[in-house]
Every structure is written in structure tokens, then in C-alpha cells.
Structure 1
Amino acid sequence: MPEPTHTPTRRRTAHAAVVGVLLAAVLFVVVLLWSKWLPYTAQAVRVWDLGTWSGTNVWGAGGVRPGDPPSWHAATSFVVAYGQAVWKALLAALLISAALQALVPRGWMPRLLNRRSRLASALAGGLGSTPSMMCTCCAAPVVVSLRRSGVSTAAAIAYWLGNPLLNPAVLVFLVLVAPWEWTATRLVVGLLIVVGGAALVARLADGRQAPPALADAVPAEPVDAERPARVLSRFAGTLARMAIVLVPEYLVVVLLVGAFRGWLFPIDGAAGAGVLLVVLAAVVGTLMVIPTAGEIPILQGLALAGVAAGPIGALLVTLPVVSLPGIVMVARALGWRATAGTGALAVLGGLLGAGVLLVL
């Protein structure tokens, strides 16, 4: 029986899909080496040699202190300090996000991350987050692309939360410069939130709808097999659209948070202790935005100022886990129900972190 005439076309299509995935993989490795892996390795070596953390408290940029009123100086000085810390990671995130949409066939990421249960999908998303090691805001554009590719709610949320909470570099930094109880709290609570919490939020957000099974994954839409220039054009267009849509709203919210940070972060050594302060720390930490590992100098400063273990445990989880700018960026892709549920999960995680650190 003669071979069907469309077989060469299928072969070209499959070849183009593989080439697109390989190009995306190379891009991922290059930009992560540049923005994350090499800088964090060098930073870990410095911390090991010095025995102390050399980073600065971004919340004190411009001389702003807890209780200071909102001002344009507070807004701009924070944006400058924060931007200097995250611009590489944000650029890497935009490039990775564009590659996921333009180079990787649409059905590939769901087949990789969508498992047969929400818990398994959350585990896959959490494991997939560990190499990228981004802060919550820089992970947000990637979450948008994952959702547009058909990745399940559980896997997308777990990827978003796993980047800051299960960041291997930050865990190493904590081991080197902080009490062991901080590292244990972060790891235990992080695993519970990223896997169990993401699955629970997805269950509540999706209702009774079953998670997409492997067989029901989004059909693959390969890159163009005939005209590579079209693929590059699509990549550039996707990158430009994401930059035009996401970056301005991101900067506006970061400006607002920076302007009001004196009121939004009123916790200092005179704040006292108690359940109300722990709840305040959990809520405030959820709204704040910091760069990767930015919580370390903040928490060290609070500990030296005499802040109790409860608020520190809450902030240890909530400062990195989500933020107001990140929430704004992912809300349309995740849906407001899942986004609000993730914010509530972060607050609960902060309360759990306070309890675990108090016990330890």
C-alpha cells in the first residue's frame, strides 16, 4: 500500500515542532544562566566567604521608614531600587513567556504539566518552578503564557508560588545566614502551599469540573514548518505585546506600593507582639513586592530590632510568595476566583509559618 502523500508534510511539521522546542530550551538555559544561575552562584560563594548577607533592604530605599507618609520620593526611589534588582529577571521572564507562546507547540506544556489529578498537577508545576528561581512578579508573565497554552489552574498556581517559595538559591542563602528554623519553616510551609494549597485553590476555583487529563490535553499547534521567519516574527510580536500590556501596569502598581510603603509596612521593633500583629504581618507581606531574596535583609533587620518570632514567621512566607503587582498581572489569565483564592492561601500560609516558627 503506498504511503500517504501527506506524510512528508507531517514529518516537516514534527521536525518544526522539535526545532521550536529546542530553540525555546536553549533560550531558557541562556537567559536563566545570565539572570539567575550564575549570579546566584556567585552570591552564594560571597555569602559563604563573608558569613553575612550583603544585600540591602529594598523597603528602606530613599530613607523611607515605617510610618512615613506617601510621597513621590518614596515611589520613585523604590522603583529605582527595585528595578535595579529585578530588571534582568523581568527581561528573562518576558523572553521565556514569549518563547512558550511562539516557539513551543501549544499542546506540549499541558502534556508536560497537566496530570491526572490536581495534586499531581500542582506537584508537576512546583517541580517545574525550581529551575527558574524567579520572584513572584517576574514569574507572573510565565504564568500568563502557561495558562494561554492550556496548562491547568493547579499547575499554573503551583508554578507561580513555587518560584519564590521553593527557590533553591534562597534556601541556600537562608541556610548560610539565618537560623536553621527559618529554613525549615520556609521549606515545610512552602511545600504545603505549593502542592496542597495550589491543588485546593484550583479545586475551589474550577468547581466540580474535572482537571484536564493527559488524553484531553490541548492539541498541538506546531510552529510554522515552511517559513522560520514567520516564527521569529511571531516571537517578536508576542514579546512586544506582553511588554506593552504587562510592564506598564506592573510599573504603575509598583509605584503605588512604593509610595505607600511607609504605611503599608508599619512593622518595626516597637510593634510589640500578639495575634493581631501576626495577622497584620501575613496580610501586609502578601501585598508587598520584593526582589528575590529581598526578604532576608528585611527579616534580619526586624529580628535585630526585637520583632517576635510570630510576625517574622508570617513574613518569611508572605513577603516572597505573592504581591499586589503580581496579582494584577495574573488575574486575567488565572481568573479572579483563583487569583483571590491564591492571595487568601498566601495569608493562611503566613499564619502557618508563624505557628511553625513559634513551635521550632
Structure 2
Amino acid sequence: MTPYQSSKYLPQENTRKAWLLIGIFIVITALGLAYVKWWPYYGKALLAADQHSIGTSILTGIGADQAISIWQSASQYTITYFKAVWKAALLGMIVATLIQALLPANWLQKLLGRSTMKSTLIGGISSLPTMMCSCCAAPIAAGMHKQQVSIGASLAFWLGNPLLNPATLVFMSFVLSWKFTVLRVIFGLLVTFGISYVANRFAKPNKINELVASRSSTTSNEQHSLWTRWISSFGKMFLQVVPAYVISVFILGALQNVMFPVWANEGFLVIVLFAIVGTLFVIPTAAEIPIIQSFLSLGVHAGPAAALLITLPAVSLPSLLLVSRAFPPKVLTFVTLSVLTLGIVCGVIGQLWL
């Protein structure tokens, strides 16, 4: 083959290889989601329809007759939490590292790299089938942004996972009421697409380019084999993510009895308090439903419960820590304060309507 023929056919070979890698990524991700999310949620949806419940509240000791120690509270919550999320958390790290190891360089950037509403919409819509909690989706969103996906699209994927989860909306309609579901959809859309799109304004191109250049210089996709790149990426992510993740969950578990005061059940200040707590606290996917159901049974009014409807799933202290290496502090501060504010607004509306 002459040099001319080689240069002529090389792009086509690269294109076939690129689509093969993309196909492998899609198959692995779909199989993982089917095992971890889609099939279990089908069974849970049937349970919600039949019993109008998806289980008890994950919060231990709240409203109980006998108080438990801080150590018991922390250890019980940490064990219960990670029993619920470890498969999804592992899948999230696998998918995040496969994004960097498998997907061709600049492919995601061409698809989702612009700071436009279109990119934000695609990022948010792509979160619908993954149906993860904010912590499990955090590594994927961070990996997307490191692959030059825009801040808006990355955030929309991250926030859309817990807020617009189709399974959670189904559970909520059976367990709580259609009014809670309507509020969740409206404010979920505002957070996922509105806040994410506005967050693009906080992006500094020079900082993003430095981040991408740093990642490219350390991973060097072309110099190592696929499996070497993936194992290296997964090992680094595991060491960076797991310790802070476990410690932050343990601390929040220890403080849960202080953070959720059942004695306070109505008024604007209580809505603000529950919104702040919900923004910081961490829960598995759809755990806000039995938590809200439990609080309502204890006499907590609809306003504070509606504030938790948005703030509990959207972000948490652990999930913010997990994405802190990928997004500028100004972006995460804006997202956190925006979720808190919209949670308060949702609580006020819920107090008047529910």
C-alpha cells in the first residue's frame, strides 16, 4: 500500500475503531444498569403500587422511643447506606473510568462541549436511564467534564439522575401523592436544566483548558493499552473517592438525630432548616420517599417535607466532595445555594398547597 493509500484509508479505520469502542461502552453500561437499576426498580414499582410503600425510613432513631448513641447512629447509618448503594457506586466509578479509557478523545467534547441549552438538555436527558443517586452519579459527571463536556451538560447529568429519576417519580406517585410528584417534576426541571445552564456563566475557559491539559498529560491515551488505561483510571479514582465518601457518610450518620428535629414541624424557619439539612445530608436513590412518609406520620407539616423533596436527593456534602476536583468552587457554591433556595420555595408552596 502506498503512503497515499495508507493516509486515505486510515481515517476510515479510526472511525470504525471509535464506533466499536463507543459500542462496547454502551453495552457494558446498559448491562450494568439492567442489573443494578432497571430490574430491581421494576420489582420495587410493583411493591409501591401494591403496598403504597417502598420500605422504612433509612434514618435510624428519629422519632423512636429510645435514643441511640452517636456511635450507633453513625455505624448503623453507614452500614445501611452502603448496603443500599455499593453496587450503584461501583457501577458509577466503572462507567466514569470507562468514559476516559474507552471513548475517543474529543468525541464527547464535540457532542456536549458547548455551553448551550442544547448541550444542557442532552446532558439532562441522558441522565434519565441511569437513575442514580447524586453520589453514584458524581464520578460520571466529573469524568464527563474531564473529557471536555461543558459544565452545563455535566451538571445536568449529575442533577438529573436523582431529581428526574423516572422510577422515583413512579414510586412517589404510589407512596405519597400526585401533588408531591408534580412539585418534584417542576422543581426537578428547574434545577436540572435551569441551574445547570446558568452555571455555564461561572466557567472560565482557561481553567478548563488547564484541567484538560493536566488530565491529558497524565493519562496519555495513545501510549498505553485500553486495559492499562482503565485499571490506572479506576485505581486512582477509587483511592480519591472512597475514603472521603465513607468518612463523610459516617459523620452525617452520626449527626442525623441533631440534623432532623421532629419537634419542629411548621413555619417558614422550619422549612429553611429542613432545606439546609436536606442539602447537606446524603441518601440512597429514592430514600427521600420513606423519609418524607415517616416525617408526615410523626406530625411534620407538608412544608418542611416538600423542602426535603428537592434538597435531599439533589446534592449532599459527600456528592459535592466527589465532584470538587472536576468543577470550580464557584460553580459548586452556586449549585448548592440554588438547590437550597429552590428547596425553600418548594417548601413554601408545599405548605400552602399540599
1:258 to 232, 253, 263: 253
Deviations 1:113-135 (A, max 9, x none): 23462x33322211111111000
Following the alignment from structure 1 to structure 2, what is the Cα–Cα distance between the partners of residues 70 and 110?
Answer: 49
Q: Is the 8 A contact 2:57 2:291 kept in 1?
A: yes
Q: Spell out the pairing of 1:174-193 with structure 2 (5 A cutoff).
A: 174-193=172-191
Residue in 2 that maps onto 1:247? 242
The alignment partner of 2:324 has SS state of helix
Following the alignment from structure 2 to structure 1, what is the Cα–Cα distance between the partners of residues 225 and 204?
Answer: 39
Q: Does residue 306 of structure 2 align to residue 304 of structure 1?
A: no
> Are the structure 2 counterparts of residues 333 and 65 from structure 1 closer, same or farther at C-alpha, using a change threshold of 3 Å?
farther
Following the alignment from structure 1 to structure 2, what is the Cα–Cα distance between the partners of residues 198 and 68?
Answer: 41
1:281 to 255, 274, 278: 274
Following the alignment from structure 1 to structure 2, what is the Cα–Cα distance between the partners of residues 70 and 290?
Answer: 20
Following the alignment from structure 1 to structure 2, what is the Cα–Cα distance between the partners of residues 4 and 70?
Answer: 74
Q: Spell out the pairing of 1:97-108 with structure 2 (5 A cutoff).
A: 97-108=96-107
Deviations 1:288-310 (A, max 9, x none): 00000100111001111221121
Following the alignment from structure 2 to structure 1, what is the Cα–Cα distance between the partners of residues 135 and 36?
Answer: 15
Following the alignment from structure 2 to structure 1, what is the Cα–Cα distance between the partners of residues 10 and 318?
Answer: 45
Q: Is the 8 A contact 1:105 1:223 kept in 2?
A: no
Following the alignment from structure 1 to structure 2, what is the Cα–Cα distance between the partners of residues 43 and 316?
Answer: 19
Following the alignment from structure 1 to structure 2, what is the Cα–Cα distance between the partners of residues 263 and 137?
Answer: 22
Range with bigger deviation, 37-46 or 4-13: 4-13
CA-CA distance at 1:277 after TM superposition:
0.5
The alignment partner of 1:302 has SS state of helix
Following the alignment from structure 1 to structure 2, what is the Cα–Cα distance between the partners of residues 139 and 329?
Answer: 10
Percent of paired sites with the same residue: 35
Q: Which has the higher contact order (CA 8 A, sep 6+)?
A: 1
CA-CA distance at 1:223 after TM superposition:
6.6
Q: Spell out the pairing of 1:37-76 with structure 2 (5 A cutoff).
A: 37-48=38-49, 50-60=50-60, 63=61, 71-76=70-75
Q: Is the 8 A contact 1:265 1:284 kept in 2?
A: yes
Q: Which amino acid aligns with 2:245?
A: Y
Following the alignment from structure 1 to structure 2, what is the Cα–Cα distance between the partners of residues 102 and 189?
Answer: 35
Q: Is the 8 A contact 2:276 2:340 kept in 1?
A: yes
Following the alignment from structure 1 to structure 2, what is the Cα–Cα distance between the partners of residues 329 and 245?
Answer: 8
Q: Spell out the pairing of 1:168-247 with structure 2 (5 A cutoff).
A: 168-203=166-201, 205-206=202-203, 230-247=225-242
CA-CA distance at 1:181 after TM superposition:
0.7
Following the alignment from structure 1 to structure 2, what is the Cα–Cα distance between the partners of residues 10 and 71?
Answer: 61
Q: Which amino acid aligns with 2:74?
A: A
Residue in 1 that maps onto 2:285? 292
> Are the structure 2 counterparts of residues 55 and 16 from structure 1 closer, same or farther at C-alpha, using a change threshold of 3 Å?
same
Residue in 2 that maps onto 1:318? 311
Following the alignment from structure 2 to structure 1, what is the Cα–Cα distance between the partners of residues 220 and 45?
Answer: 40
Q: Does residue 138 of structure 2 align to residue 140 of structure 1?
A: yes
TM-score by length of 2: 0.90
Deviations 1:245-292 (A, max 9, x none): 1111111111111111111222x1x31311110111111100000000
CA-CA distance at 1:51 after TM superposition:
2.9
Range with bigger deviation, 6-15 or 149-158: 6-15
Q: Is the 8 A contact 1:57 1:294 kept in 2?
A: yes
Q: Is the 8 A contact 1:287 1:323 kept in 2?
A: yes
Q: Is the 8 A contact 1:64 1:74 kept in 2?
A: no
Q: Which amino acid aligns with 1:56?
A: T
Q: Is the 8 A contact 1:69 1:263 kept in 2?
A: no
Q: Is the 8 A contact 1:44 1:172 kept in 2?
A: yes
Q: Is the 8 A contact 1:69 1:260 kept in 2?
A: no
TM-score by length of 1: 0.88
Residue in 1 that maps onto 2:149? 151
Following the alignment from structure 1 to structure 2, what is the Cα–Cα distance between the partners of residues 38 and 10?
Answer: 40
Q: Which runs of 4+ in 1 moved over 4 A?
A: 64-70, 221-224
CA-CA distance at 1:110 after TM superposition:
2.2
The alignment partner of 1:129 has SS state of coil
Range with bigger deviation, 291-300 or 257-266: 257-266
The alignment partner of 1:5 has SS state of helix
CA RMSD of aligned residues (A): 2.6
Residue in 1 that maps onto 2:26? 25
Following the alignment from structure 2 to structure 1, what is the Cα–Cα distance between the partners of residues 325 and 123?
Answer: 19
Q: Is the 8 A contact 2:115 2:197 kept in 1?
A: no
Q: Tell me the number of residue pairs that the alignment of Structure 1 and Structure 2 aligns.
A: 343
1:127 to 125, 128, 132: 125
Q: Is the 8 A contact 1:65 1:262 kept in 2?
A: no
Q: Is the 8 A contact 2:268 2:348 kept in 1?
A: no
Q: Is the 8 A contact 1:70 1:260 kept in 2?
A: no
Deviations 1:48-93 (A, max 9, x none): 2x23213221111xx3659968722222111100011001111110
2:264 to 261, 268, 271: 271
Q: Which amino acid aligns with 1:39?
A: P
Unmatched 5+ stretches in structure 1: 213-218
